[in-house]
Structures are given as C-alpha cells and as structure tokens.
C-alpha cells in the first residue's frame, strides 16, 4: 500500500486535468463537490447493479446513475434493441417508426395519456408541460410545492445564479401535503391559475421522503377541476419506479399532463410529455423541439425498457430488492443504541436520515463507511433500486450498511 | 404503378397512427407540416450522404439531419468510438474520462475557449450562456438580432403559444448587420446590458442568408468591451461548418462565450458551452445539469468527430463538395430565362431563394421536383453539406436541381 501513496491515482490525475478545463472541475447534480471526499469522481464502467471507478474500485450502486438505470447497466434486451436501431439510423431528417411505436406504447401504458411528445431531458419535459398548460388556459400562474425539484432551467433551477425575478414572475408556492397552504395558493392565483406542477411524493434533498397523502392528491385534482387549471404530474424522477404507469394511478388520481425522463430509456437520453386529449391542440401549438429529439436509438431503448417492465417480472424484482433492502435496514436501525435513523420513501427510491443531523454529518460518515465496504450511495439525495439488484448485491449492500451503522453508533456513544 | 394506389404506403400508415398518438402527428422543426406534401415523413435508415424513407425511396440528403451529420451518417470512425465506449458505459453515476478529454479537445480547438461544460441540446447551451452572462454581470438585458433562432425554450422560441411576456422581459432586439440599430439597442440597455447573443451569420428561415460584415462583428465586440457585457456567439448551427474552431476566428473576433451542439457529435446528442477564463467563476455558480449530461457515448462520438475534423481532410472535403455544388447551381441559375434566383451563405450551409417569391411557391415547386429526382432539401431553411458528400452525390444533386430549375423556369414562362 505504501507504494501507492507515491503513485498518483487515476481519479486524482483526472480531477486535476478537469480543474483546468471545466469550471469547478465538474458540472451539475453529479458533481463531487456535493459529496464526501471519499466518493469516487470518475466512472470507468458499469454493469448490472455495479460500477467501477477509474481507480478500479467496484461498488454495488444504489444511485442507478441518479435514476435512469431501472433495468441495470448494460441490460442485454435494451442493448440489443439499441444495436439493431443504430445500424439503421439515430438522428435523421425526421422521426423513424420508433417515434410512433413509442408514443403508442406510452399511451397504452400510462392511463391518463392520450398522446405523447418525445424530448431529451427532464427539464425539457417539465418546461413543455408548463408551456402547454399556459397555451391551453391562456393564464399564467403555476403553483409548485416549495423545495421540490423540477429541473435546471431558469424558471425551476434550485440555484439563483443568473436567474431573474421575471423568470419566476408567475410562479407561486405551497407546502407539499398541506391542504391549507395549497388552498391559500389557489386563492392567491384566482382566475390566473394555469397549472399545478407536483411530484408523486415529496422528495427534497437532505430531508426524509414523504408519501403524498391520498386526500391531498385528490384535493389537488379537485382544485384544478374547479379552476379549469391543468394538473401536471412531474414523473421525471419517480416514473416506472412506483408503478408501470403514472405514479398516481394506484391512488386513482389522473393528471392532465405528465413529464417523464430518467428511467424511460434505461440510461439513453430521452424524455416525454404525455397528456389527455383536452390538451392535444395546445400541445400542437407549442413549438417543442431540439436537434436530437427525433433520434431513434434512445426511442428503441425506451420501447425495450417499457416492454421489459410490462411483460417480465423486472418491476417485481426491483420491488423485491427494495423490500429485501428495507427489511435489512430496518433491522439494523432497530439495533442502534446511540443514534436513531428514519428510512423513508417507496422501497425503490428510499432515503435514510439520522435524527438530529441537520448538517448531515452522521449520514455523510455513514456513506463513507459504506463506500469503504463497496456500497455507493448519496448522503443527501434519495437512492434508486433497479431490477438488476439481485439478492447477492443487496446482501453486499446490507453488509456495508451494517458496518456503517456500527461505526456511526460507536462514534455517537 | 396503378396497383400502388390501392396499397397503403408505409408512410401513410405511419402518419395515420402518428395522428392518433402525437399532437399534429409530429413535433418540432422537422414536422412535415412545414414541408410540401411530397416530402418524406418517416426515415427508415441513413448512410453517408443518403437516406431511405419508410417507403424505400432513397435520397441524396442536403439537410444532414438539420446539421448534425457533418461527417455523414454512420461514419465508421465515430461509430467505432461509440461501440467501444458503449461497452464500458454511457449514463453513469458521474462523468467518465471522456468528459475531461472532450473538454480539453474543445479548449485546444476553439481559440476563445478556456473551459467547457457539456450538455444535450442547443437550447441548453444558449440558455446556459445567457444565464452565465447574467450571473457574471449581475445585469439583465440581453440583445438578440431580430428573427434569429436561438432555440425553443420560452425565452427564445419563435412560437408565442404558452409564452409569457415575462419570459422575455429583459430581451431587446437589433437588426443583424445594422450598426445604427445595434447602437440604439446598446443605448437603450445602458448599464443593464448583460450580453449580446448573435449567430455567426444571418440565417432566418425563408430569407436569403447574409454573411456578417467584419465591421459589424468588430463593432459588436467593441460594444461589449465598452459596456463590460458578454459577447455570446451562438455556434449551435454553424459550428465546425465554417471553421474547425469558432466561426468568427477567421474574422479575428473572439466571443466570451459560445454555444455548440448540432455537428459536435456527428448526430449523437451533445451540446457544449465554452468560455473564457473571466466567465469561469460565474459558470461554476450556475446550476447546469440534466440526467444524461455526463453520458459518455455522445462524448466519445464528439471526440472522434473533432479529431477527424482536425486531422483528416474531412473539413476540406465538405468545403469542396459545397463549392462543387455552388458552381453547378450558379451555372444553372445563369441559364434561367423567366425567373431569377439567389444562392447565398457559406458553401457548406447554402440556401436558394427565388426573386419575387414571398410565399415560397417557386422554391416549394423546386424542392418537389428535386425530391422526384432523388434529392432532399428544405424549401425554407438553409441546407447542410457534409464530408460524406462525394462528387457522385453532388452530381446526382445537380442533375435533380437542373430538372427542378427547368420545371420552375417553364412554369414561369
């Protein structure tokens, strides 16, 4: 080991090069500046439920590329569909038949969907939903749950740098699951209410997850009906991890529009807006486009992903993996003597938080020990399970978390 | 041929299916509603400088997927780089080494670039430039040349549906190449001027292209310097078709930021913002991200594309193809007796317009006859040449345009 201290690691070398040519060395939500210094920075390769960093360290992965990998990395069915389509064409002078097939499949899979438009990013999809809602209603005000993430465009980015007040001029906010706060916001909007944009459950970075209460979901639906406003479900992060269909179908609440991306193409860059017939004409009037938005390869990947979710036990395997992991975590939490933790969220998108940990010190310590034992997770962001998380990888994960809990419990003693 | 009228074509069948599940049957800039009824709608496959539609008709392609295909479809060097990277990973928990390599290559290739941030769409890149400029200057006003396209987000979309006045609250406009109009806009902005965003030449749909005058480019640079504002060159469409580097390098005018996408990865979905050191800190503060923005496969494609442009005769081949085509078109224009036409723009991004054709009737007729002779082009949008346009494909194109000119000239007689 001593020799290694003299040999520069591949990740340190890359970080130094990156610092010269990329502002801050890394951009966006995956930036290691939001992580502990022990988190790997550059990824070399990924397969199934595991990845290897550029220094050759392998991890069981609880982030799934922050959501996209719902069937696991390098899923053979998706990759085969990609290879076949790539031999024909990807970005071309117009859509391929894959665009129609994928739109049909989305309409068949998502109960509130009568049509679909395909895009590239989650932000593309949420922005399109807001624009379509404004085009349909001729109104301006959009209500958002405070602190919920809907993308990184100026109207929705969580960072204020470079954003004008006018970018958010017609937005107003309510507290998730708080009916009085929601009613107040609807009242303030009055006859200017164009849309309510909401995530299927409350997931705010660094806070425990909170399920939507069925009453609250129904109240949002009713308020939109009463006001003639558009209910937009932002299913970018949750889509297909809570249900093979809209995440609010189990509650019986149908949005008018929904935004999709992350898991749609098992890692290939694709997003979708799906909507009800009443919004079709507005969706046609809004100019929604990008140079690669008709690219056929990510559509082939999405078709293969959705078909796999619909016709194989993949979704059930993902849920079973999540349940196995939750059962193990809850047992480990029970054994703690000096700290208390809370495990929240759908089993496929869980998050662990420690009580009295406002600076995330304990969860950061926890994640560091997990990394040393081969488990990659994020200290402040919900985790993601996939269909590739088999019993063995969950057992590796639980062994790592057992070490991490023991470490935190001892440190807190 | 008579039998065919009873057999539904593949494209008609797809259009009917699309009408049911996609608003208007197709979204975005490639929608056939902006084209003649003779234009093919769905693409089956593409190779080199040609593509085949779903009815088996092959065309020499003068749109290059609206820009991306700068080396031609299925370029073997790019595809090989893609296959190799795809076996390792694409969308993962963080960037791969490809992100650093591509940022280094962009900095090496584009003279005003000290750093790069990678994204997915042209709109991502232009929006990021505006946001970074506002973050750096703490000011709001952005000047744009009237009618020029910078993307499809609410602040820049050419369509008004669903867009609020507040989305464009701090934008003001000048006429491209018109110094008095530009000076007036700078004057109006006063000490609120954050940025000027401009395309390398004036390309407005349905109008002849117009080169930037070197004096105007220098005047824009000087005005930004005087005001402490940021000059943003929108090289999304032109990037690498006018120069292997920034499109204004031949003029000696360096922007502070530039936006890139289309040709960057030869069809793979990628975009870039590159900038000068003075903007590095602001670029670090702005939150720029998307689920697939660290995807390694499009970066591998971009590295292969740029290396090919730098180290092979690909760029010269593309220019030579454009010159061969222009020479032929100019000869054909000279022979017209009853109509006059104008051929404008860089040889790699030309546009043909007929005089006294405000409704684009002649150019639409022209494009229909070209289609019948196996040449695909757009009646209202500039065309694109690639390095895959060899002498034979240009000769096929010129045979088609000869027929089309003859048809229009006879019809105008």
CATH number of domain containing A250: 3.40.640.10
How close B21 comes to chain A (CA, Å)? 4
Nearest CA in chain B to A41: B94
How far CA A343 is from CA of A25, A136, A361, B4, in Å, comes to 33, 41, 17, 64
Nearest to A115 among B23, B29, B51 (CB): B23
Residue B124 covered by a domain: yes
Q: Which of B256, B291, B311 represents a domain boundary (last residue)?
A: B311
Judgement on whether residues A162 and A209 belong to the same structural domain of the protein = yes
Nearest CA in chain B to A127: B153
pLDDT digits (tens, 9 = 90+) for A203-215: 999 999 999 999 9
How close B34 comes to chain A (CA, Å)? 12
Judgement on whether residues B174 and B30 belong to the same structural domain of the protein = no
Q: Which of B286, B244, B349, B304 is nearest to B124 (CA)?
A: B286
Residue A2 covered by a domain: no
Kindly report the average pLDDT of chain A as a whole number: 96
Judgement on whether residues A231 and A349 belong to the same structural domain of the protein = no
**Is residue B376 helix, strand or coil?**
strand
How far CA A23 is from CA of A162, A271, A342, B281, in Å, comes to 15, 27, 36, 7
Judgement on whether residues B91 and B189 belong to the same structural domain of the protein = yes
CA B20, distance to chain mean position in Å, is 30
Domain of residue A125 covers 89-311
Cα atoms found within 13 Å of the Cα of residue A157, Cβ hemisphere only = 23
Judgement on whether residues A62 and A103 belong to the same structural domain of the protein = no
CATH number of domain containing A52: 3.90.1150.10
Q: Which of A277, A311, A345 represents a domain boundary (last residue)?
A: A311
**CB atoms A157 and B269 under 8 Å:** no
How close A285 comes to chain B (CA, Å)? 6
Three-class HEC string of chain A: CHHHHCCCCHHHHHHHHHHHHCHHHCCCCCCHHHCCCCCCCCEEEEEECEEEECCCCEEEECCHHHCCCCCCECCHHHHHHHHHHHHHCCCCCCCCHHHHHHHHHHHHHCCCCCEEEEECCHHHHHHHHHHHHHHHHCCCEEEEECCCCCCCCCCCCCCCCCCCHHHHCCEEEECCCCHHHHHHHHHHHHHHEEEEEECCCECCCCCCCECCCHHHHHHHHHHHHHHCCEEEEECCCCCCCCCCCCCCHHHCCCCCEEEECHHHHCCCCCEEEEECHHHHHHHHHCCCCCCCCCCHHHHHHHHHHHHHHHHCCHHHHHHHHHHHHHHHHHHHHHCCCCCCEEEECCCCCCEEEECCCCCCHHHHHHHHHHHHCCEECCCCCCCCCCCCCCHHHHHHHHHHHHHHHHHHHHHCC
Which pLDDT value is given to residue A114? 98
**CB atoms A286 and B45 under 8 Å:** no
Output B5 or B377, whichever has higher pLDDT.
Answer: B377
Is the confidence metric ipTM above 0.90 for this complex? yes
B122 close to B262: Cβ distance less than 8 angstroms = yes
Judgement on whether residues A276 and A161 belong to the same structural domain of the protein = yes
Judgement on whether residues A223 and A325 belong to the same structural domain of the protein = no
Judgement on whether residues B45 and B134 belong to the same structural domain of the protein = no
**CB atoms A21 and B166 under 8 Å:** no
Nearest CA in chain A to B52: A88
Which pLDDT value is given to residue B5? 47
Residue A83 covered by a domain: no
pLDDT digits (tens, 9 = 90+) for B63-117: 999 999 999 999 999 999 999 999 999 999 999 999 999 999 999 999 999 999 9
Length of chain B: 413
pLDDT digits (tens, 9 = 90+) for A320-342: 999 999 999 999 999 999 999 99
**CB atoms B97 and A294 under 8 Å:** no
Judgement on whether residues A307 and A324 belong to the same structural domain of the protein = no
Judgement on whether residues B213 and B317 belong to the same structural domain of the protein = no
Q: What does the pLDDT average to over B52-58?
A: 98
**CB atoms B65 and A93 under 8 Å:** yes
CA B119, distance to chain mean position in Å, is 16
Domain total in chain B: 2
Judgement on whether residues A301 and A317 belong to the same structural domain of the protein = no
Percentage of residues in chain A having pLDDT higher than 90: 97
Strand partners, B115: B275
Judgement on whether residues B168 and B300 belong to the same structural domain of the protein = yes
How close A335 comes to chain B (CA, Å)? 31
Which pLDDT value is given to residue A336? 97
Q: Residue-wise pLDDT tens for chain A (413 aa)? A: 344 444 579 999 999 999 999 999 999 999 988 898 899 999 999 999 999 999 999 999 999 999 999 999 999 999 999 999 999 999 999 999 999 999 999 999 999 999 999 999 999 999 999 999 999 999 999 999 999 999 999 999 999 999 999 999 999 999 999 999 999 999 999 999 999 999 999 999 999 999 999 999 999 999 999 999 999 999 999 999 999 999 999 999 999 999 999 999 999 999 999 999 999 999 999 999 999 999 999 999 999 999 999 999 999 999 999 999 999 999 999 999 999 999 999 999 999 999 999 999 999 999 999 999 999 999 999 999 999 999 999 999 999 999 999 999 999 99
Which pLDDT value is given to residue B7? 57
pLDDT digits (tens, 9 = 90+) for A17-42: 999 999 999 999 999 888 988 999 99
Residue B58 covered by a domain: yes
Which pLDDT value is given to residue A6? 44
Q: Which of B267, B291, B311 represents a domain boundary (last residue)?
A: B311
Residue A324 covered by a domain: yes
Residue A3 covered by a domain: no
Residue A135 covered by a domain: yes
Nearest CA in chain B to A113: B21
Residue A300 covered by a domain: yes
Interface test with A, best of B122, B162, B262, B374 (most A CBs within 10 A): B162
**CB atoms A292 and B68 under 8 Å:** yes
Which pLDDT value is given to residue B33? 86
Which pLDDT value is given to residue A2? 40
Local confidence band at B268 (pLDDT 50, 70, 90 cut-offs): very high
Which pLDDT value is given to residue A8? 76
pLDDT digits (tens, 9 = 90+) for B182-241: 999 999 999 999 999 999 999 999 999 999 999 999 999 999 999 999 999 999 999 999
């Amino acid at each position: 080991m001593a020799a290694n201290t003299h040999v520069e690691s591949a990740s340190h070398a890359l970080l130094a090069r990156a610092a010269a040519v990329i502002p801050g060395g890394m951009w966006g939500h995956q930036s290691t500046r939001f992580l502990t210094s022990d988190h790997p920075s550059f990824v070399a390769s990924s397969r199934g439920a595991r990845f290897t960093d550029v220094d050759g360290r392998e991890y069981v992965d609880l982030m799934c590329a922050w959501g996209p990998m719902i069937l696991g990395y390098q899923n053979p069915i998706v990759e085969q569909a990609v290879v076949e389509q790539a031999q024909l064409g990807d970005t071309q002078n117009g859509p391929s038949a894959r665009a129609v097939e994928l739109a049909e499949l989305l309409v068949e899979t998502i109960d509130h969907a009568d049509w679909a438009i395909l895009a590239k990013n989650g932000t593309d999809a949420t922005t399109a939903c807001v624009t379509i809602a404004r085009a349909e209603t001729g109104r301006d005000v959009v209500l958002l749950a405070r602190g919920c993430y809907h993308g990184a465009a100026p109207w929705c980015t969580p960072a204020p740098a470079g954003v004008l007040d006018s970018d958010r001029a017609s937005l107003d906010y309510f507290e998730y699951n708080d009916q009085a706060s929601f009613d107040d916001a609807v009242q303030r909007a009055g006859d200017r209410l164009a849309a309510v944009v909401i995530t299927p459950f409350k997931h705010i970075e660094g806070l425990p997850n909170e399920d939507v209460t069925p009453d609250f979901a129904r109240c949002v639906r009713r308020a939109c009906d009463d006001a003639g406003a558009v209910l937009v479900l932002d299913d970018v992060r949750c889509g297909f991890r809570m249900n093979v269909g809209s995440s609010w179908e189990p509650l019986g609440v149908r949005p008018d529009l929904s935004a999709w991306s992350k898991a749609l193409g098992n890692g290939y860059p694709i997003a979708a807006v799906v909507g009800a017939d009443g919004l079709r004409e507005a969706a046609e009037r809004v100019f929604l486009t990008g140079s690669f938005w008709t690219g056929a390869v990510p559509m082939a990947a999405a078709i293969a992903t959705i078909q796999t979710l619909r016709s194989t036990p993949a979704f059930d395997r993902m849920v079973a993996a999540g349940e196995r992991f939750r059962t193990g975590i809850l047992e480990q939490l029970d054994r703690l003597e000096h700290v208390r933790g809370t495990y929240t969220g759908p089993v496929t998108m869980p998050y662990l938080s420690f009580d009295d940990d406002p600076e995330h010190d304990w969860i950061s310590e926890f994640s560091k020990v997990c990394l040393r034992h081969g488990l990659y997770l994020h200290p402040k962001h919900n985790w993601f399970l996939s269909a590739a998380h088999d019993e063995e990888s969950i057992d590796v994960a639980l062994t790592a978390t057992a070490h991490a809990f023991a470490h935190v419990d001892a440190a807190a003693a």
